[in-house]
Amino acid sequence: MNTPYSFDHNAFAAALQSTYSHLTDGEESGVVVKVAGRVMLMRTQGKLAFATLRDSSGEIQLFALAAVCEDFENFAKLHLGDWVGVTGEVVRTKRGELSVKVQSWVQLAEALHNFGDKWAGITDYDLRYRHREADLWANPASRQSLARRSDVVRSIRERCWAAHFTEVETPMLNAIATGAAARPFTTFHNALDSEFFLRIAPELWLKRLVVGGFERVFELGRVFRNEGVSPRHNPEFTMLELYAAYWNYEDMMAFTEELVAGVATDVLGTTEVEYQGRPFSFAAPWPRRTMAELASDAVGEEVSVHTARARLVELLNDRGVEVHASWGAGRCLAELFEVTCEESLWNPIFVTDFPVEVSPLARRHQGDPELTERFESYAAGRELSNGFSELNDPVDQRSRFEEQARLGAAGDLEAMRIDEDYIKALEWGLPPTAGLGIGVDRLSMLIADESNIREVIAFPTLKPLRD
């Protein structure tokens, strides 16, 4: 294939559609433009040919007349999917379609495969995800969902910058996988002769930067968790984490709801949307309810982290949950909340005051040392964000890690390990600080009205093909 190395393109389909909307049927503008894109449809009619050209902005018709169009015969033989660059006058055809009347054209690249059925596109999930490049042309909705994700990321960055957060990058290769409860991927560095883990969260590194004097930091990046794949889970996903010195969890809740509502406004122009056919509102402020309140409402009796463990176990068993011997009352309460409440939380809500037992990095609650100043926001029945007043006492942090180590020894594969470097960092002094984590893919799903996380990930993790 002998094709050009460049094309001097100066117009986009969507811009032409709006700029020349005034042209009347059969009117010629006298303006010659150069457009480029893929031929998505071709209608030939003897000495005439009409092609639908699609570029990144939209579509415009190419109108070729044998008498005017250079090498008309081959133009009419272009395949659907071929890339072309076209020079021609902007006109409106007699039948009212804004078009570029082809004077000269060049095939920029050939499509050896087609882009699916003209009507149905490509529907096979395997083909769509393994060959997203084809899916993007075959299914405009796929392109829109990924574009929405990009808009979400841009909005997050701009809003964090506007609030004076510094964007930083921390290691993905970690000697200890920590900062969250999850199983890691492992890998090996040959020259250092050391095992490494892909990060499951950037949390501890970011707080070390706060110790170092970066008072407001954020990182927008990939984390990796060696867990199940589902419509709401991809093994690698994108997390926003941010930390603000001198804030507590109340301050961070206020920031979170403003951030998320702001992203919705930036991307969709409104906070009032439909998600999966149901009205959904991002509007701030979001209600705040404690975990104990919500669980109590759900089970019809007063429960809290101080309820007798045996009673919590009964309530869990009644709901088919098997309780492990290592779970204390705090873990039992958190489980009870998850099974009774989580799915019913539709519009965004902050669930607050998590038990210490399930929050090894969060600061104890000022009103109850068995609780932490921690919140999670829930939306559409799923966790959207997680944040807390950060534990900054190195002695308490060490005892929390030691408790985690006990759980690990007892077989909990997701328990954290003791991170001595992190404890030493806290010994240098972490000011009062609040932190936040938001699942960017989950947020993008809400914004793009997608129920499957793969629709907002360009190349989701798939099982490699084998024989």
Partner RNA sequence: GCGCCGGUAGCUCAAUUGGCAGAGCAUUUGACUCUUAAUCAACAGGUUCCGGGUUCAAGUCCCGGCCGGCGCACCA
Footprint on residues 414-433 left by RNA (CB under 7 A): 414
Q: In angstroms, what CA-CA distances link 200 with 101, 156, 443?
A: 55, 21, 19
Please tell me whether residue 80 binds RNA under the rule CB under 7 A. Answer: yes
Q: Which amino acid is at 257?
A: E
3-state secondary structure (DSSP) of residue 210: helix
Nearest to 348 by CA among 263, 298, 280, 269: 280
Pick the binder of RNA from 126, 193, 274, 318 (CB under 7 A). 126
**Token match 């999850």: residue?**
182
Please tell me whether residue 286 binds RNA under the rule CB under 7 A. Answer: no
By C-beta, is 108 or 379 nearer to RNA? 379
Please tell me whether residue 17 binds RNA under the rule CB under 7 A. Answer: no
Please tell me whether residue 411 binds RNA under the rule CB under 7 A. Answer: no
**Token match 């992203």: residue?**
263
How many residues of this chain bind RNA (CB under 7 A)? 73
- Judged by CB under 7 A, the stretch of 42-50, 146-154, 367-375, 394-402 that binds RNA is 42-50
Least Cβ distance, residue 161 to RNA (angstroms)? 24
Q: Which parts of 356-432 are beta strand (E)? A: 364-365, 368-372, 374-379, 382-389
Query: What pairs with residue 173 in β-bridges?
Result: 198
Please tell me whether residue 348 binds RNA under the rule CB under 7 A. Answer: no
By C-beta, is 160 or 436 nearer to RNA? 436
Pick the binder of RNA from 125, 161, 246, 428 (CB under 7 A). 125
466 by Cβ neighbours in 10 Å (0-12 / 13-18 / 19+) ranks as exposed
Please tell me whether residue 43 binds RNA under the rule CB under 7 A. Answer: yes
Give dist(CA 109, CA 121) in Å, integer. Answer: 21
Per the CB < 8 A criterion, the answer to whether 264 and 447 are in contact is: yes
Q: In angstroms, what CA-CA distances link 131 with 81, 90, 125, 136, 141?
A: 15, 35, 10, 9, 15
Nearest to 146 by CA among 444, 462, 408, 446: 444
115 by Cβ neighbours in 10 Å (0-12 / 13-18 / 19+) ranks as buried
By C-beta, is 99 or 389 nearer to RNA? 99
- Judged by CB under 7 A, the stretch of 8-16, 29-37, 307-315, 379-387 that binds RNA is 379-387
- Judged by CB under 7 A, the stretch of 109-117, 163-171, 293-301, 388-396 that binds RNA is 109-117
By C-beta, is 70 or 272 nearer to RNA? 70
Please tell me whether residue 122 binds RNA under the rule CB under 7 A. Answer: yes
- Judged by CB under 7 A, the stretch of 112-120, 168-176, 246-254, 325-333 that binds RNA is 112-120
Task: State which of positions 138-177 bind RNA (CB under 7 A).
Answer: 138
Pick the binder of RNA from 24, 94, 188, 190 (CB under 7 A). 94
By C-beta, is 215 or 229 nearer to RNA? 229
Please tell me whether residue 50 binds RNA under the rule CB under 7 A. Answer: yes
Give dist(CA 434, CA 296) in Å, integer. Answer: 27
Please tell me whether residue 45 binds RNA under the rule CB under 7 A. Answer: yes
- What CA dihedral angle connects 217, 223, 229 and 232, to 10 degrees? 10
Least Cβ distance, residue 25 to RNA (angstroms)? 8
By C-beta, is 181 or 283 nearer to RNA? 181
| Token pair for 251 | 């301050």
Please tell me whether residue 458 binds RNA under the rule CB under 7 A. Answer: no
CA 340 distance to own-chain centroid: 27
Give dist(CA 380, CA 280) in Å, integer. Answer: 8
Please tell me whether residue 117 binds RNA under the rule CB under 7 A. Answer: yes
Task: State which of positions 191-230 bind RNA (CB under 7 A).
Answer: 225, 227-228, 230
By C-beta, is 130 or 311 nearer to RNA? 130
Please tell me whether residue 22 binds RNA under the rule CB under 7 A. Answer: no
| Token pair for 367 | 């009103």
Q: What angle do CA 348, 200, 177 make, to 5 degrees?
A: 145
3-state secondary structure (DSSP) of residue 243: strand
Give dist(CA 378, CA 122) in Å, integer. Answer: 34
Least Cβ distance, residue 232 to RNA (angstroms)? 6
Task: State which of positions 385-404 bind RNA (CB under 7 A).
Answer: 386
Please tell me whether residue 74 binds RNA under the rule CB under 7 A. Answer: no
Pick the binder of RNA from 1, 67, 162, 191 (CB under 7 A). 67
Please tell me whether residue 54 binds RNA under the rule CB under 7 A. Answer: no
Give dist(CA 134, CA 113) in Å, integer. Answer: 9
Please tell me whether residue 127 binds RNA under the rule CB under 7 A. Answer: yes
